[in-house]
Each structure stands twice: as C-alpha cells, then as structure tokens.
Amino acid sequence: MQRAQKLSNETLASSNAQDDVESLLDLMADLRGIIVAENDFLRRGMPAALSKLNDVKEVLSDRYAALSQSVLAAHADEIIGNTDLCQQLLGAGQELRQLTAENMQRLTAAMAATRARVDAVMAAVRVHDQAQQTYGRQGQSNSSARSLTRTLQVYRGRPTGGVEV
C-alpha cells in the first residue's frame, strides 16, 4: 500500500534508515488495512469472514513486531532527531492502536452474540429431547434413536451415562 505522504530523501541521514522507516510505515498501513477490513466485517455482522484475514493479519503482526523493534533499535537517534518523522510514526502507531481497540470491542461483541445463539440452540435441543423421551418399566429410555444431546456429549468427549446438560 502506498502512504499518502512519502518521506523525502533528507528525512534521515542514512538511506538504510530511510528504507527501514518507509518499510515500517508501509507495513503499518497494510496492517491498518486488514484491521479496517475486519472491523467492517464485524460491523456488518459477518464474523465468519474474519478467518480469511486471520493468516494475513498474523503474518503482518509478526513482521510489524520484528521490524518495529529492529528499526527503533538501529535508528532511534535519527528518528528522535527528526520531529516530522517522529510525528508520522507516532500518528501511525496511534491510529493502529485505536483500530485495534475497536477491533477488540467488536470481536468481544461478536463472541457474545455467537455464545447467545449457541445457548439458545442448546436450550431448544434440551426441550426437544425432554419432550421426545419416554421411559419403560425399568427406567430406561425407550427411544430407539440416540438423542441429539447425547450425540453432542459424545462429540465433546463427555460420558453419556451421567446427567445431561
């Protein structure tokens, strides 16, 4: 992604520092783009679409962590000595933090909504199982088909002989 404002060649004394800082700002822009896309999916109620972005986000986050650390370690004096460059990096970092905070809020809300839907389905399954189950003389279920709740318990690795939830 291209940044709106390119750094001039005079920004840093070293062309290596110039390239490193430009790479860091470009990477931050790419990461912001991914987070903006995630927030958009969450805003539209499409949390499942996040899986497509997750791998890219993880790679970019890892690169960002490594690159930011190396750029700051190698060029801290040059960056601190340049007010414009400092402001660019701080502004990009602040925007990234704000988007990440929004992302966390939206993800938390999406997880709560999903949990509520799963709870509603499970409650309906329990009601259905209770309505369909009959017992014989010895207290055993006469149902020839296994209940959905028992099937789910087995799937989750829980024993079926105990109390159903």
| Structure confidence at residue 126 (pLDDT) | 81
| Structure confidence at residue 160 (pLDDT) | 56
| Structure confidence at residue 161 (pLDDT) | 55
Closest CA to 10 of 26, 21, 1: 21
Distance between CA atoms of residues 55 and 101, nearest Å? 19
| Domain identity same for 114 and 139 | no
Domain contains 5: no
The total of structural domains in the chain comes to 2
The dihedral region occupied by 7, where left means phi > 0, alpha psi between -120 and 50, and beta the remainder, is beta
Domain that holds residue 78: 15-118
| Structure confidence at residue 48 (pLDDT) | 84
Domain contains 40: yes
Distance between CA atoms of residues 46 and 117, nearest Å? 14
| Structure confidence at residue 148 (pLDDT) | 60
| Structure confidence at residue 9 (pLDDT) | 39
Distance between CA atoms of residues 43 and 75, nearest Å? 39
Q: Measured in whole angstroms, how far is the alpha carbon of residue 50 from the centre of its chain?
A: 7
DSSP state of 56: H
| Structure confidence at residue 7 (pLDDT) | 42
**pLDDT under 50 in the chain at which residues?**
1-12, 144-145, 163-165
